[in-house]
């Protein structure tokens, strides 16, 4: 990995991606922070995501996630836990490394940029490579009635989530929109993306595990995902052939948390609807 500095900040780049960034003049903190000519995917005020296509015989698609500032509360929590405060970009950079170390596939980390001083409060960004494949949120609707495909995907997904949790990691946004089926290879593979909020060895990890599993359950639409599919997933996740007392207890906790997520989602949708009506009034 190479570290490049300019007056505004430092840029850490994985060696294999450095020539690619150099070819577009994007090999500095300033160039990537002020990147132009990219497609705006999402803008949430303090954070925006850009899609960059690097032309060539095999075009490379990169995603640039820019954070306009860090979180003081996140920095304070790190300090109280005896950890070094990290910028949002560095936090996701570390999460990618941790998730890969757990044996779970994710997007490739390309570059990470931070300000020189108090980087955890100032602008930062991370560049990742696109995961070429199907987003499970979109693909799941084509699986209704396709038992053979489901019986390949469900164990693969359950195994990936299980490995992540056994490594002491929890995702915090584990919805089907953040699960990919990458192209290539004979076996079904699972990749997890959007690791910005991943926690490592969080307090009360079991509670966060239930939240991850409930988020998956909530985002899995019926009837494409049947009750039998959900039970099969839980059995594969726990490594059991049938639901025992422990598994039934976990299933009840997941069901309760799923309903709380559903109620929260409904409140958010209603609030957004009211705000949209005010804007158009």
Whether the bond between 223 and the residue before it is cis, its omega within 30 degrees of 0, is: yes
Which of the 8 DSSP states describes residue 108?
P
Asked if 35 contacts 54 with a C-beta cutoff of 8 angstroms, the reply is: no
Neighbours of 111 (CB within 10 A): 27
Asked if 70 contacts 88 with a C-beta cutoff of 8 angstroms, the reply is: yes
Which one is catalytic: 43, 138, 173, 276? 173
Q: Is 173 a catalytic residue?
A: yes
Asked if 105 contacts 185 with a C-beta cutoff of 8 angstroms, the reply is: no
**How many residues belong to the chain?**
281
Give Cβ neighbours of residue 182 (< 8 Å, ≥ 6 apart): 105, 131, 132, 133, 189, 191
DSSP-H helix ranges across the chain: 18-23, 29-33, 72-80, 88-101, 136-139, 147-166, 205-218, 227-238, 245-280
Report the distance separating Cα 183 and Cα 135, nearest Å.
11
Q: Looking at beta carbons, which pairs linking 60-63 to residues 24 or more positions away fall under 8 Å?
A: 60/20, 60/129, 60/130, 61/129, 61/130, 61/132, 62/110, 62/127, 62/128, 62/129, 62/130, 63/107, 63/127, 63/128, 63/129, 63/130
Q: Which residues have a catalytic role annotated?
A: 173
């Amino acid at each position: 990995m190479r570290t490049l500095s300019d007056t505004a900040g430092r840029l850490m780049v994985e060696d294999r991606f450095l020539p690619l960034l150099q070819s577009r003049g994007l090999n500095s903190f300033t160039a990537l922070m002020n990147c132009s000519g990219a497609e705006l995917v999402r803008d949430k005020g303090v954070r925006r995501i850009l899609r960059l296509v690097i032309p060539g015989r095999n075009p490379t698609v990169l995603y640039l996630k820019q954070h306009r500032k860090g979180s003081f509360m996140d920095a304070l929590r790190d300090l109280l836990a005896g950890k070094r405060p990290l910028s949002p970009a560095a936090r996701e950079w570390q999460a990618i490394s941790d998730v890969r170390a757990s044996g779970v596939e994710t997007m490739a980390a390309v570059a990470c940029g931070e300000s020189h001083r108090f980087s955890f409060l100032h602008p930062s960004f991370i560049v990742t490579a696109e995961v070429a494949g199907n987003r499970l949120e979109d693909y799941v609707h084509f699986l209704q009635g396709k038992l053979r495909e489901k019986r390949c995907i469900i164990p693969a997904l359950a195994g990936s989530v299980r490995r992540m949790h056994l490594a002491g990691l929890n995702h915090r946004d584990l919805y089907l929109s953040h699960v990919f089926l990458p192209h290539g290879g004979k076996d079904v593979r699972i990749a997890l993306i959007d690791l910005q909020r991943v926690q490592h060895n969080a307090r009360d990890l079991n509670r966060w595990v239930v939240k991850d599993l409930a988020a998956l359950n909530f985002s899995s639409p019926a009837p494409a995902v049947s009750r039998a599919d959900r039970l099969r997933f839980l059995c594969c996740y726990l490594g059991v052939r049938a639901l025992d007392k422990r598994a039934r207890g976990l299933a009840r906790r997941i069901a309760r948390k799923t309903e709380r997520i559903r109620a929260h989602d409904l409140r958010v949708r209603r609030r957004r609807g009211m705000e949209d009506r005010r804007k158009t009034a």
